[in-house]
Amino acid sequence: MARPTRKAAAKAPKYAADSPSASEDEGGHAASSSKPAIRRRKRTADEEDDAWSHDDDSDAPAAKKARKASSASKSKAKGKARGRAGKLQSFQAMPLDILAEIARHLDPITLLHMSRANKMMHSVFASRSAAPIWAIARENVYLPDLEAPDLTDMQLASLIWERECHICGRGRAVIVDYCIRKRWCKNCQRDNLIHASRARTRIENLHPQALACSTFTTHSVSGYNYMKKHYYCQIDVEAVSKELWEYDDTVKAARGKEAAEAAKQAKADYLDLRRTIVKAAFKDGDVLLNWERSSAQNRRDADLKARKARREAIEAKLLELGFDKLDLPGTYNHARSLIDKPTALTETSWNKISSKVIAAAETSKKYRLEREKLERMRSRRDALKPRYDALLLSQTAGEDHDTFPSFEIFASLPVVEPFWASDGQTFTDDDWNAAIPTFGDDIARARRAIKVGYARRIVDTLAKAGKPVDKDLADKFVAPMSPRLESLQDKIEHSYLIGSVSISRINLDDSASTVTDAEFDLLFSNAIARFHCGAYSCIARHRFPHAHAHARGHDFSGLASPVALIPLLVQQQLAVLDRLGIPDDGSAEDELDKRGAIFSCHHCFEARQSVQHNWFLGAPVTTVQDTGLTWSEIRQHTDHYHFELYRSTYSYDSKVMPEIRIIGEDYAATPPPEPKPVPGASVGADLASQGPDSDEQAAFDEAVAA
């Protein structure tokens, strides 16, 4: 198939060297049909003498004198030649043995490009004498020898390395099939790669032996061919079919026995050749595909090796400047693209990139020093944990032990923080033991702040549940206006590196000094003042100070968590107390247990079904006892089955929220859901004025019910 002439080749100067005898080169390119432009050239001195030496009596017309060039054109001719003219003169004058020796160190695609430089180059590399040069070029890239004789070295190089489609000539054709010797774009592959059944219907006047003489592949357009069916190139099949019909016509047109036998023998030789090519081409396809894959892997290995060598060279440069190995810019650094390249590092290239690489190394060094500082702080902080455990064990059982601050809060105390947060300082056991008596004041302030936090959580939860406490008491728990607490993140320049060193701080000035012990006892003895644990799998409920000790044992900071009390559950508990006329004090739970099994969980099944629908799709909803429960049993029931639903009401449908109810009590009907607007219907006074018996009102009621 003729290929389009390259623009660069069309613009190249035409040389006087004799062209090859064949009208088509071995690279599969048809010779250009355009004739070179006839150029006027100045006669040489010898030609002028011959012209004037003719006999005056000759009938030949006198030759015209050559046109003299002007001085301007002469000066212009002495300048640089336009385009590529004159650039290959020295290369063309090179002896062929030196040219052949140079070619031995090249790869096939470079030889192919050299053969297209001019006619002389083409005659050198397209001749049979250039076969050893091509063989060495194939060995340079470890290209295996092929069995099929249908491809020359130039055609093979074009098939493997060039990216033009063999059908339409479009560039960037990445689809190649070595079995049928085709590289094509996606559209051409879809239009020309056909199955044998389609070939018989699409190709007019198909020769019966054409498919057997055409190369085939087992790679379909879709990529699925588990039955290994044969696919053909329609253009190749048409060409083979045409040649076979021509052989048949020659046999029919032969006159005489000898001519007929010669024609039949020629056809038989052609058939044998094509069948040999078909079998060998299919084997060569697998060989070339394996070579391409191994070659790609070799290129990747060479690329990685070159990148590694460049990184090591840059690393050596940075080490000479006093940097550390860890200071080499990381993957996401802006200078990484300058380092991670498959090209060798030279002095010239280093001078170009050194300023950016050194600046990036300075930044990496800064981060490294910050990380090392944080690591030292973390190590010193972890070294305090055994000493903290010893102090915790030394506390007397009871409220002193339960309200002792957690390790995170203890480490943030002003008297403790210098033992681990001050870089470059070390301390001994004697230093620690000498400082223990000074811890008492800060620990006492921390205990008071923790207690105030839990009491404030009760006040806030009661307000959310609709039953606020006394206003004067609530005003006493208003958090004081204090300066912003300086955290460890404020002391670290790159705070995102804080990692496991982050600590919880507490405002030691939050003491609520006007609140008396009796007021604290009144809040903590409230019926609803049982705090849930913040752990995901723990549903334990404790009163203060046991709630703080429980949270401290689960590696929490011990501060009052936002989920310590659940307003919705508190609201339902208060509603039960109001219906039974029981005051919400410390004796409320005992009084509720005395009432017996009078409680039920309303919407229990639907609530559990909604949770399983969101988290465990398809899981069956088990049947549990949700009625006839005592107060302790109903609380265990809600904690076990509905705790996550109560705590995460924003994640579920509010219509199926469970509710603690008293058996036998009258409750208002659950309000229906808000009606969704019906497209095209008016919900205003027009429908209301039509009366309840109107068809429009009935249709609207059905839509709302739906």
- The helix (run of H) or strand (run of E) holding residue 695 is helix 695-705
pLDDT of residue 29: 42
- Residue 332 scores a pLDDT above 80: no
Residues 649 and 695 in one domain: no
pLDDT of residue 408: 85
Q: C-alpha dihedral over 422, 428, 433, 439, to 10 degrees?
A: 10
Taking the C-alpha atoms of residue 628 and residue 631, their distance in angstroms, rounded to an integer, is: 10
- Residue 253 scores a pLDDT above 60: yes
Residues 490 and 435 in one domain: yes
How much is the average pLDDT of 488-517? 69
Taking the C-alpha atoms of residue 497 and residue 502, their distance in angstroms, rounded to an integer, is: 10
Taking the C-alpha atoms of residue 404 and residue 411, their distance in angstroms, rounded to an integer, is: 12
- Residue 420 inside a domain? The answer is yes
Taking the C-alpha atoms of residue 397 and residue 283, their distance in angstroms, rounded to an integer, is: 86
- Residue 230 scores a pLDDT above 50: yes
pLDDT of residue 85: 55
Lowest mean pLDDT among 222-226, 238-242, 347-351: 222-226
**Is the CB of residue 684 less than 8 Å from the CB of residue 630?**
no
Closest CA to 101 of 122, 124, 128: 124
Which one-letter DSSP state was computed for residue 213? G
Q: Which residue has the higher pLDDT, 212 or 118?
A: 212
pLDDT of residue 427: 82
Q: Is the dihedral of CA 510, 514, 517, 519 positive or negative?
A: negative
| 3 state DSSP class of 175 | strand
- Residue 494 scores a pLDDT above 70: no
| 3 state DSSP class of 195 | strand
* Tally: H helices and E strands in the chain: 32, 10
How much is the average pLDDT of 452-474? 90
| 3 state DSSP class of 660 | strand
pLDDT class of 49 with cuts at 50, 70, 90: very low
Q: What amino acid occupies position 437?
A: P
- Residue 18 inside a domain? The answer is no
Of 379, 394, 429, the last residue of a domain is 379
Structural domains in the chain (count): 4
Closest CA to 452 of 401, 509, 409, 526: 509
When the pLDDT of each residue in the chain is averaged and rounded to a whole number, the result is 79
Closest CA to 498 of 370, 619, 613: 370
| 3 state DSSP class of 217 | strand
How much is the average pLDDT of 16-23? 36
Q: pTM, whole model, 2 decimals?
A: 0.55
Taking the C-alpha atoms of residue 358 and residue 314, their distance in angstroms, rounded to an integer, is: 10
User: Which residues 6+ apart lie within 8 Å of 424 measured at CB?
Assistant: none
Of 526, 551, 576, the last residue of a domain is 551
- Residue 177 inside a domain? The answer is no
Residues 626 and 657 in one domain: yes
- Residue 21 inside a domain? The answer is no
Residues 427 and 538 in one domain: yes
78-112 confidence digits (pLDDT tens): 445 455 556 666 666 777 778 778 888 899 999 99
- Residue 513 inside a domain? The answer is yes
Lowest mean pLDDT among 25-34, 279-288, 318-327, 477-486: 25-34
Q: Which residue has the higher pLDDT, 563 or 5?
A: 563
Residues 474 and 611 in one domain: no
Residues 540 and 683 in one domain: no
- Residue 476 scores a pLDDT above 70: yes
Of 379, 407, 424, the last residue of a domain is 379
pLDDT of residue 646: 83
Residue with tokens 């390395």: 161
How much is the average pLDDT of 398-402? 89
Helix spans in 321-384 (H): 336-339, 347-383
Residues 400 and 530 in one domain: yes
pLDDT class of 486 with cuts at 50, 70, 90: low
Residue 545, preceding peptide bond in cis (omega within 30° of 0): yes
Residue with tokens 């709630």: 547
pLDDT class of 47 with cuts at 50, 70, 90: very low
- Residue 655 inside a domain? The answer is yes
**Is the CB of residue 527 less than 8 Å from the CB of residue 635?**
no
Taking the C-alpha atoms of residue 150 and residue 275, their distance in angstroms, rounded to an integer, is: 12
Residues 402 and 462 in one domain: yes
Which structural domain range is residue 606 located in? 566-671
- Residue 62 inside a domain? The answer is no
pLDDT class of 487 with cuts at 50, 70, 90: low
- Residue 48 inside a domain? The answer is no
Lowest mean pLDDT among 308-312, 443-447, 533-537, 565-569: 533-537
**331, 339, 360, 555, 701 from 335: Cα distances, Å:** 9, 7, 6, 42, 69
Residues 404 and 547 in one domain: yes
Lowest mean pLDDT among 97-106, 202-211, 254-263, 450-459: 97-106
pLDDT of residue 685: 37
Residues 461 and 577 in one domain: no
Residues 408 and 537 in one domain: yes
Residue with tokens 């409680």: 599
Q: What amino acid occupies position 563?
A: V
Residues 646 and 706 in one domain: no
